[in-house]
């Protein structure tokens, strides 16, 4: 998968590295601000009981 993405990024090496960093940061931001908050209420980690 990473090879496919790398082959489809345009430009020379410096531009490809910059685009790969921006792409990775965008995916991380999407996960942190959209996906994880949406999934968090569905996870059972808040139902902790000690007896």
The pLDDT score that the predictor gives to residue 47 is: 67
- pTM comes to 0.72
Give, as one character, the DSSP assignment of residue 12: S
The pLDDT score that the predictor gives to residue 28 is: 97
Domain residue limits, the chain: 2-38
The pLDDT score that the predictor gives to residue 21 is: 95
Q: Nearest CA to 27 among 5, 44, 3?
A: 5
Collect all residues with Cβ–Cβ distance below 8 Å to 20 and sequence separation of at least 6: 5, 6, 9
What pLDDT, in 10s, does the model give residues 1-51?
788 888 899 999 999 999 999 999 999 999 999 999 999 888 877 666 776
The single residue listed with the structure tokens 């996906």 is 35
């Amino acid at each position: 998968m990473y090879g496919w993405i790398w082959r489809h990024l345009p430009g020379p090496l410096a531009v490809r590295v910059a685009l790969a960093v921006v792409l990775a940061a965008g995916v991380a931001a999407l996960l942190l601000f959209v996906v994880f908050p949406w999934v968090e209420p569905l996870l059972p980690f808040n139902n902790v009981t000690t007896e």
